[in-house]
Amino acid sequence: MKPNNETLELLNRHGSVRQYKDTPVSEEQLAAIIGAAQMASTSSNVQAYSVISVTDPGLRSQLAALAGNQAYIEQAPVFLVWCADLYRLREASTPHLAGGNSYEDTTENLIVATVDVALAAQNAAVAAESLGLGIVYIGGIRSKIAEVSELLGLPELVYPVFGMCVGYPAARAGLRPRLPLQAVLHHNGYDTATTLEQVKAYDEESRVYMRERTGGANDTPWSAMMAKRISEPARMQMKDFLQAKGFLRR
């Protein structure tokens, strides 16, 4: 029998929300969402993330422009910027280090902080959806990452990984089909043949989905969309930016 419960149903009906009602999200709701985020697993308890709630209208509108003018960034009652944060950890550690070596600037620690913030944010997303709210992740804030960091006064060893709109949905998009399970789940080793075979099936499925969603105007398969995406240089400043902020130096 297929396992089911309230939480699984919630996870399985996730779709990003890009139109929000005016209805506010209360302080208590926000605290419950961030509190649930904090309970996610964290590597050796480093808790290497911070989240910035942006309510100031001027700031919000500047961030929306920097992220590529997506209207919902201004419309959503809550806009959160999720940051990987090794600054707190480094500052808290300094008095104990007695001037000795420290390794916050490694590639390993960039991964630790990036994973930590993503686990916390996904718990926040699930918590918000459990309250009847909708969310959308905003990777667009990385397009102008230096400007976003400056606006939010991010210190060294902090970088904005993604934004997140939260609010009551005014409209919901249909659920977008995902790759077949067998494309992502391997057994005892990576199976290149199966994953690529499954992509072919998914290409057909995604064509049908796009055709229906666009009234026939678009039937691009997934692999062609991915090709378009990786054929264009995007956010090429990331390495220099992260190194300037104290990450990824070795």
Q: Using alpha carbons only, what angle is made at residue 58 by residues 143 and 132, rounded to the nearest 5 degrees?
A: 75
Span 149-208, contacts to its own copies by CB under 8 A = 151-155, 158, 161-162, 175-176, 178-179, 181, 183-190, 192, 195-196, 199, 203
Which of 76, 77, 222, 245 binds its own copies (CB under 8 A)? It is: 222
Residue 203: exposed, middle, or buried by beta-carbon count in 10 A (0-12, 13-18, 19+)?
middle
Could you say whether residue 8 binds its own copies (CB under 8 A)?
A: yes
- Residue 229 interacts with its own copies (CB under 8 A)? yes
Ramachandran angles phi, psi of 196, nearest 5°: -75, -30
Alpha-carbon separation of residue 79 from 18, 47, 56, 144 (angstroms)? 12, 21, 10, 17
Q: Is 107 in the site for its own copies (CB under 8 A)?
A: yes
Stretch that binds its own copies, among 65-73, 131-139, 166-174, 211-219 (CB under 8 A): 131-139
Only one of the segments 67-75, 166-174, 211-219, 221-229 lies at the binding site for its own copies (rule: CB under 8 A); that segment is 221-229
Pairwise CA distance, residues 160 & 42, whole Å: 18
Per CB under 8 A, 19 contacts its own copies = no
3-class SS of residue 17? coil
Q: Does 76 bind its own copies (CB under 8 A)?
A: no
**What span, in angstroms and rounded, lies between the C-alpha atoms of 19 and 137?**
13
Among 23, 24, 56, 201, binds its own copies (CB under 8 A): 56
Nearer to its own copies, 32 or 170 (CB): 32
Q: Can you name the residues that pair with 167 across neighbouring β-strands?
A: 134
- Kindly tell me the burial class for residue 144, based on how many C-beta atoms sit within 10 Å of its own C-beta (0-12, 13-18, 19 or more): buried
Give backbone dihedrals phi and psi of 141, rounded to 5 degrees, phi first.
Answer: -65, -15
Least CB distance from residue 87 to its own copies, whole Å? 8
| Segment near its own copies (CB under 8 A); pick from 7-15, 70-78, 166-174, 211-219 | 7-15
- Report if residue 224 touches its own copies, rule: CB under 8 A: yes
